[in-house]
Every structure is written in structure tokens, then in C-alpha cells.
Amino acid sequence: MDIDKLFKVPKIPTGGNKRRMPDAPTSEMLKRMKLASEDASAVIASSSPSTAPPKRVATVHDADSDEDGDDGPGSENFAPGNDADYFAEEDEEGRFFGGGLTKEQKEILNIFDNAGADQIPDDSETLSSSGIKKFLLRLERAANKNQSQRSKYPDDPTKFIDSEADLDAAIKALLPLAQVPKVAYPLLVGSGQLETLVGLLSHENADIALDIIELIHELTDEDVGEEADNEEEEDPEQREAVLKSLIAALLDHSILELLVDNMTRLDEAEEADRQGIFHVLGIFENFVGSKPPLAERLVLKTKLLPWLLNRIQSKTHDENRGYAAELLSILLQWSQLNRLELGKRDGVETLLNVASQFRRRDPTDADEAEFMENVFDSLCSALAEADIKDLFLKSEGVDLMVLMMRYILPKFPLNLSLDCSSVRDKMQARSRAIKALDHAMSGLAGAEACKIFVEASGLKYLFNTLMGKPLKKQKGGTQTPAPEDTTHTLGILSSLFTNLPSDSPARIRLLAKFVENNYEKTDKLLDIRTSAQARLAEVDREIDAEKKELLGGAGQVGDEEDTWYLRRLDGGLYTLQTVDYILAWIVMEDDGIRDHVRQMLDRRNKSFGDLVSTLRVFRDNIDEGERNDSDDLSQREILQHLMAFLESC
């Protein structure tokens, strides 16, 4: 290898704007390299063993000083590329690096840096009152200038493109205001610049509107101010107060309508527009989270609901589709009027069509699973209304849910033994279908749904869920159903006993299920009851301890009674009440079941009196209930009759 070639650097053309490599080494530098090489060779030779072969040392000869156009030794421009810092900058080991810039170039950059530093305030200035006012003034001037130039040169973008860039920068400069809401939001509201910001949502350039959308999304986030260094900014009550004042001011400028209008002009095929849609949905969620009554204004006063229903029907899943389903669930949860409006917009049919996509397949990932969950939550929220239950029946919702309750099995070889639990768990929509049926069949308005459910052979799949049984074609023992499935299954059974007419074929079929196979389903109810009692006993011990502590501190127990009752419901009381309600019905209607239940309760040191005690608490904590006509009994009256029968046994 010719070592001399290592020091020969090819010449670089002088034309063009590309960044240049350094010029070739000067004669002075070559002499330094030669001396350094000789010193290194001497060190190596002195430290090597005497038996080691001699090291070859490269010798570098001087080149002509004017070979590459460089000045000779003693010239001021002796560094490669005339680097002003070549020998001024070195590391700890004494090696030289340099910045690659001449003295003239460094002076030019320093001028630009100093000019930029004069125009851009640091963080402390930005987040102060004076800094915020400067940015608001900058926004006003940029918006006015851009509007003026667009009006003056509407057909010549080159005339207003610079002002548009300034406007874009002025908007983005307001993003840090979310860090100091206590200081920034009152100034923003009082300055009158909110009208300017909201007005820019109608700007001809969609990119400017997207900037405004991103800014409002940041300013209205529920976590604004949490990253501030100032401890005063960490007061959640103050943050909430200034956030609500900002939202109220935005609403005064019809921001909801303008945001919905922008959603129709954005093309989600473009990444920026897709992100803009995501931010708009986030703004709506921020608004409703801060002020729940806004949910009705969004649905009733804008075109958001049709947009959401159309968006969730997309065949391909993405984050905006998932967010649309989540927002729809939130809007329906807050308002009865919104649920009724959903029915008027054919929303029930839409939700059932979307839900049916998961009858034969599971969601592909966690995001789509959350989307499916939100679709079913929207449906369940809507089913709280009697009118929606009628639409649910007309759209054959009960039949669809029964189909989704079935075990949909893939085609496996006949000689393959399957674990039924793994197959059952694959169909995630099954649990959601049971939940939807529980809501559809509840109350007196669910009577017709109960009848259709039995006619659609729903009892078979319902009791398979209760018992944790696999299909007859599969081998394997019983499996413990999910707690949520058990809760909704019991809710469906409760509705069936409440709504199915006495002596009707559907009711007889229901009662026969508790007799067959030596009362196995009745025994299952008693097992569930025992488990619920154990969980409730633990919660009751915790509540008793809290009562003693509260009484010791001279507190008022009555203030916590409602909270404790809700805790007891979650801790097993709801399940216990539902089971005892079902047991009371089957005990009253069948003598064989009555004797069997009495015997099983006796083995557990219980009696019908324990069922009466549970039902009494149930009766005392429910409303009078609804009536369809004078012949219908309210839930309270039904409970009273059941208690009277059990007490007579």
C-alpha cells in the first residue's frame, strides 16, 4: 500500500452550493505530521522487545507550497479551508478538530444568531405576562397583514405567501400557553384574540385552520398546566376554573359549528388532515369532559352525529374510526335526547351493522377490540330508552345477538381434540352480545324482546354461558364464566321472569331449565349466591370499620350511606339480589324446586328468611317502577308478593 496516497486529497470543484471538503494539507502541516510520525516510531521502537522485527516507518516528503494554491509557512491562511478555529479547538488529548468555517463565515453566522436572539424570547419571557402579550400582538398583526394581502392580491399567491408563513409561525408560537393556563388564559380571553383565532378556522388555506385546531386541542386538554415548574400552576381547581372560562369564551364564538364544518373539508387520505380530524375529535371530548351538557349541543345543533355514524362504518380500521366510536359512546352516555336523536338518524341500524362485523371474527388488535367495545357500549346506552328498544326489535337486534352468543367454531379436522375454553374465548363479541341483550330485555319495555329471545332459542346459549358448558360436539369439563358474563346472564334471567306471562309456553320452557338434569342450574344459582355472600361480607367488614372511625371523629354517618350502598352493590350485593329474585320466582312456581332449594339452603345453614332479607333491601332501594297499563305490577310490588310467599313457606 502506498502510504503517500493517504495524504493526497483530490481537488473538489469550486462551483455549486454543496458543502465543500477541506483543502489539501499545506507544507507546514505536512512537516508537523512528519515530526509526529517520527516521534511515534521512536516510542514504538523503544517499547518493543529486542526480538521483535523492526517496524516500518513511513516518511513524508515536503510538497511544493504552491501545489494546491496554499500559501507557504507564515501565511495567515495556513489551516485547511482557512478554518478560523482549526487550532483553537481541541479535545482533552490535544487533538485539533476545528469548526470548518472561515473567519468571515463565522462573522456572518454570528450576525444571524444575534438577530434571531433579539426576535425570539426565551422560555421565561414567553411564559410571562409580557411575553404572552407580545405573542398575541404578533398574532393580530400577522392575521391582519395576511388578510390584507390576500384581499389585495387574491390571484397571486406569491404576494401573500410570506405573510401566510408569518401567520403560521405566530399561531404555533402560542402552543406553550398551555403550560401556564392560570396566566395565559385570562390574557387570551381578555385580549379579544379568541375571535381572531376562531375566525381563522374559516381561512382559505386549510393548513392555517389545522394550526388553529391543533392549538385549541392543546389549550383545552384536561391536563393543561400539569408540567409547569411553578408550584402555583399545579392547583387543579384554578386550572379547571380558567379552562372552563376559556371554553365558555370559545363557545361564544360558535366554535363547535366551525369545527364540524372543517371536518367535512378535510381529506383523511392526507396525513395532516387525518391528524386534524383526530384533534377535532379530541377537542369535542375535552369540551364534553369539562361541561357535560355540551353533549346535547353537539348532537342537536351540529351535524356531528351523522358524521360519526358514517365514520364508524368504514371498512378499514384506523385511529380516527376508533376515536369516532369512543366519542359517540360518550355523547350517548350523557344525554337522553342524544339517544333519541340516534334513533331518528337510523343509528340503531348502523350500530347493529357495525357490530355484525365481529360475529364471525375477532378484532385484529387491541385498538379494534376497543372500537368494538365502544360500539356495543353505544348500543347499550341507547337501549335505556323504550323507543330505541322498539327500533332494536325492528332491526332484528335480538336475533343478531343470539347468533353472536353461539360458539362459532372454525373448521378443524374431526380427529382433533379441542379445548373448548380457548375456542369460546376467541369470540370476544359474545360477551358484548349478552350485555346488549341484558339492556334490551330489562324493564317492562323489554317484554317483547324477552318473548323473541326465547323463540330464537336463546335459552340454550344463555344457560350454556351460566354453566360454562362447551358445545356437545366438544370434549371437556365446565369452565368458570367471566364475572361480567355471569352478571348479565343473571340480569337476562331476571327480566325473563319479570316479563314472560304466566303459564305461557315461553315461561314453561324457562322454568323447565331449572328442573332438568337433577336441578343442576338451580344448584349453580346457589353456588353463585354463596360466592356473592362471601364477597359482600368482606365489603361489609370494611364499611363497619369506616363507620366506627367516622363515629369516633364525630362525623355524620348519614352523609356516607349512599356511597356505602353503591360499594355494597359492586361488592356482591347486586349479584345476591338478582340471584335471590330468581330463586324466589322458581321456588314459588315449582314444588320440586322449592323442596330442593330448602334442602340446599339448610346444608349451608341458610333458609328462605335469608332470601327475604335480601329482597327487603332490594325493595327499599328501588323506585316505584314503570307501568304499561293498570294490570302491570311495579318492581316494588312484585318483590312484595315474592317476600310474602317466602315468609309463608
Domain boundaries along the sequence of the chain: 3-82, 121-291, 527-648
d(CA 407, CA 276): 41
**pLDDT for position 411:** 41
In contact, 467 and 520? CB cutoff 8 Å? yes
For the record, the C-alpha cell of 57 comes out as 516507518
- Predicted pLDDT of residue 412: 40
In 3D, which of 258, 370, 363, 366 has the Cα closest to residue 323? Answer: 370
Instruction: Reply yes or no on whether the pLDDT at 194 is more than 70.
Output: yes
What is the pLDDT, as a whole number, of residue 546? 87
96 C-beta neighbours (distance < 10 Å), count? 13
Q: How high does pLDDT run on average in the chain?
A: 81
Task: Decide: 592 and 511 in contact? Cβ < 8 Å.
Answer: no
Q: Looking at residues 157-170, what average pLDDT do you find?
A: 91
Banded pLDDT at 72 (limits 50, 70, 90): very low
- Residue 321's pLDDT is 97
Tell me: domain 121-291, CATH 1.25.10.10, correct?
yes
CB atoms within 10 A of CB 345: 15
Task: Give the per-residue pLDDT at 83.
Answer: 58
CB 408 within 8 A of CB 424: no
> For residue 448, what are the CA distances in angstroms to 386, 392, 495, 514?
11, 11, 11, 22
Whether residue 328 has pLDDT greater than 70: yes
d(CA 642, CA 649): 11
Q: What is the DSSP letter of 569?
A: I
CA gap 254, 220 in Å, rounded? 16
How many angstroms separate the CA atoms of 342 and 610, rounded? 44
Report, as an integer, the average pLDDT of 64-71. 45
**What is the rounded CA–CA span in Å between residue 436 and residue 484?**
12
What is the 8-class DSSP label of residue 2? Answer: -
Report percent pLDDT > 70 for the chain.
71
Among 22-26, 286-290, 368-372, 613-617, the range scoring the smallest mean pLDDT is: 22-26
Around 309, how many Cα atoms within 13 Å sit in the side-chain half-sphere? 22
What is the structure's pLDDT at 111? 60
Question: Of 432, 401, 387, 443, whose CA–CA distance to 622 is shortest?
Answer: 443
Lowest-confidence region among 133-147, 207-221, 401-415, 470-484: 470-484
pLDDT at 65: 43
- Return the amino acid letter for 462: L
Angle (CA) 323-324-329 rounded to 5° is 95
Count the helix, strand and coil residues of the chain and give each as a percent rounded to the nearest 5.
70, 0, 30
Contacts of 578 by beta carbon, 8 Å cutoff, 6+ apart: 487, 490, 491, 493, 494
pLDDT tens string 432-483: 999 999 999 999 999 999 999 999 999 999 999 999 865 444 444 455 567 8
Closest CA to 144 of 195, 182, 107, 183: 195
Give me the sign of the Cα torsion angle 295, 301, 303, 309.
Answer: positive
pLDDT over 50 at 8, yes or no: no
* 597: its cell numbers: 332449594
Give the highest mean pLDDT range of 22-31, 58-67, 528-537, 628-637.
528-537
Q: What's the rounded Cα separation, in Å, for the pair 355 and 427? A: 13
Per-residue model confidence (pLDDT) at position 253? 92
Give the separation between CA 400 and CA 452, rounded to whole angstroms.
11
Amino acid 630: pLDDT = 42
